[in-house]
Amino acid sequence: MIKEKLISVKEDALEQIKSVANKDDLSQLKVKYLGKKGEITAVLKTLGSVAPEERAEIGKLANLAKEELEKAFENKLQELNDSIFDQIKESEWIDVTAPAQKAKLGKLHPVTQIQYEIEEIFKSMGFSIFEGRELEDDYHNFEALNIPKDHPARDMQDTFWLFGDKLLRTHTSSVQVRAMEKTKPPFQGISPGRVFRYEGIDASHQNTFYQVEGLMVGKDISVANLIYAMKTLLKKIFKKDVKVRLRPGFFPFVEPGFELDINCLICGGKGCSVCKQTGWLELLPCGLVHPNVLKLQGIDTEEYSGFAFGLGLDRIVMMRYGIDDIRHLLSADLRFLEQF
């Protein structure tokens, strides 16, 4: 009886060991069979009731069963350990020979790219780069540019006024004044930068945009010099001869003043939202520096004259790449920016 019991307990144990899936279950099972209160131990405790002549045989059998089970537990433990390692090998596998991932490089904003290009073009013509400031005062932004207080020309530019006489510059022309304060003629330079206007936003207007101011003061500077510089610039920027037209334009700090327009490169002159259906794009207001502006900075107008221009940098970028809405430029949308 006890012999059969021993064998069936052992067989049960071996069967269960086979199907164990983790180490916790395995050690519980080991306690269940081989522990102090385990089933094999329980069988051995009944040995006292066995006839003395059978006792030795059964005792031996019991020890063998115990050894067999211990061996089985040990093997299973080894098996489970191996499979854990296999899993780790699978999940943490890395190919050390694979090429490293490339770092993602950023790029300059299209406006900055073209700004740098324009700087190079003018540097090659002997122009320097003037530093300006975005926070300006009434004097440099208006007064010294022949736009006195209460002059209707102030209405041409809706201004973000700050405290006192401070304002966000409405144009880069204020740099003309700062350049003349610092430098004696002859000199020539450009100044690219951000400008601000308090105005409604649409496909061709932003409250924050970019201009490049240019100023050349010297002996015998005339409209011919101005036109030559502008044509050189446009030809290099657009890499072809661009159709231009010159119209009279009023700006208090130049006399005569002009509007230099270029044929709209978006629609080819047919008319679109960017050129307000005219086929032309107002690109480059310019002129000969007004004598009042020169005189105020102590420049002798008998000896010196100058030309100035104010280029809409955003417009140049839009024309160059066929962008039909200025709002893209400040959007910081990578889907847009990654194209340049």
Q: Is residue 261 within 8 Å of 283, Cβ to Cβ? A: yes
Q: Is 171 in the site for ligand DAH (CB under 6 A)?
A: yes
Site string for ligand DAH, 52-91 (x = CB under 6 A): ----------------------------------------
Among 44, 308, 319, 326, binds ligand DAH (CB under 6 A): 308
Q: Is 309 in the site for ligand DAH (CB under 6 A)?
A: yes
* Window 16-55: residues binding ligand DAH (CB under 6 A): none
Among 136, 213, 261, 314, binds ligand DAH (CB under 6 A): 213
**Of residues 73 and 209, the one with the C-beta less far from ligand DAH:** 209
* Tokens standing for residue 121: 């073009």
Assess whether the previous peptide bond of 186 is cis (omega < 30° from 0): yes
- Between CA 183 and CA 34 the distance in angstroms is 100
**Of residues 173 and 329, the one with the C-beta less far from ligand DAH:** 173
Among candidate residues 316, 219, 232, the one with its CA nearest the CA of residue 266: 316
Spell out the residues 6+ positions from residue 3 whose beta carbon is closer than 8 angstroms to its own.
Answer: 58, 61
Among candidate residues 260, 317, 262, 264, the one with its CA nearest the CA of residue 285: 260
Among 285, 305, 328, 329, binds ligand DAH (CB under 6 A): 285
Q: Is residue 170 within 8 Å of 159, Cβ to Cβ? A: yes
Q: Is 254 in the site for ligand DAH (CB under 6 A)?
A: yes
**What is the nearest approach in angstroms of ligand DAH to the Cβ of residue 289?**
7
Q: Is 127 in the site for ligand DAH (CB under 6 A)?
A: no
What does each C-alpha distance from 156 to 96, 198, 203 come to in angstroms? Answer: 65, 11, 19
**Of residues 65 and 204, the one with the C-beta less far from ligand DAH:** 204
Q: Is residue 188 within 8 Å of 127, Cβ to Cβ? A: yes
Residue nearest to ligand DAH (CB): 310
**Of residues 173 and 297, the one with the C-beta less far from ligand DAH:** 173
Task: Tell me which residues touch ligand DAH (CB under 6 A).
Answer: 171, 173, 213, 251, 254, 257, 285-287, 308-310
